Amino acid sequence: MFEPDTLLPEQFFSLLGRKPIQGEKRLLLAMLEDAVHCFQTYVLAKKPHERRLFQEAEEWIDSTDTHWFFSFENLCDILGIHPGRLRGALQQWKSHQLTVAVGTRPLVSVDLGEKVLAQAV
């Protein structure tokens, strides 16, 4: 009597008038999501392996190469995403994160026993 209605993904998307992403497009979307995740998660990383993940994701996103099937440009085109807009939004997000990170911690700090002097440049 009080059971929830269960919908399959195909039923949900058909109600919205959209087709669900199938097969290869799901894989391409997963690749794009992983790159964006690495970009956003490790933007301020200190550990070398995390820093490398960020740099690889950033290089892939910044590349405008279309010769490789799995390039950022090609994946976005296949998925119907404007690559320039996504790239621009990610770069704007990165700039904001770097600004906030620098603004919240001093660039130079000196510990003098009980007193800590901080100077932001």
For residue range 42-84, what is the model confidence (pLDDT) as tens digits? 999 999 999 999 999 999 999 999 999 999 999 999 999 999 9
pLDDT for the residue numbered 31? 95
pLDDT tens by residue, 7-16: 555 555 565 5
CA distances from 84 to 49, 63, 78 (A): 28, 11, 14
Percentage, residues of the chain above pLDDT 70 = 67
* 36/90 Cα distance (integer angstroms): 8
| Residue linked to tokens 């209605």 | 5
> 36-53 burial string, b = 16+ CB within 10 Å, else e?
bebbeebbeeeeeeeeeb
pLDDT at 23 over 90: no
Token readout for 8 is 């399959």
The answer for residues whose C-beta is within 8 angstroms of residue 31's C-beta and 6 or more apart is 70, 75
- For the chain, the residue count is 121
* Entry pTM: 0.68
